Amino acid sequence: MEIFINHLDTCYNHFMNIFPIFIDAIGWIGAALVLIAYGLLSIKWMDGNTFSYQALNVAGAVMLVINSYYLGAYPSVGVNAAWVGIAAITIFRDWWKGPAATYKRVTSQLSKRVALQKIAIQRIKLPAFKHANKQLSRSSSG
């Protein structure tokens, strides 16, 4: 029985030596997820109303809450808990409205984006087109 207790004690000590490293890894992964979500949103590769953006925020912020709580950084726990709450409410709101409402919102945003792209292309091509018409009219009249 004493051997078993010594073995448990050794396992516990080993776990307690590795546990802080595990908590640090969780914190760094959480920070990376939140920064990736924000970076993709900032460069417009991701829409802020999508499930993937909100899921990255929830996962990252939960990991940061765990890390901050373990380290005793309670203001950071509060901020990240609020971050989780906001993202979770957004996910729940979209789920409650159903996929049709989400699809409608995303497609309307895509339609606006496509329309703006077409306007931008027309603005780029329009002066060149006018210039080409003037050249054609001069060559055909002369």
The whole-angstrom separation of Cα 112 and Cα 104 is 12
- Residue 118's H or E segment, with its range, is helix 99-141
- Residue 35's H or E segment, with its range, is helix 2-42
**Type of residue found at 128:** A
Higher pLDDT, 103 or 62: 62
pTM: 0.62
Give mean pLDDT, residues 75-96. Answer: 90
List, in sequence order, the alpha helices (H) in 43-98. 51-71, 74-97
pLDDT at 93: 82
Query: What are the structure tokens assigned to 66, written together?
Result: 């765990």
pLDDT at 94: 76
The model's pLDDT over 15-40, given as tens digits with 9 standing for 90+, comes to 667 888 899 999 999 999 999 999 99
Give mean pLDDT, residues 50-79. Answer: 94
* Residue 76: other Cβ atoms inside 10 A: 16
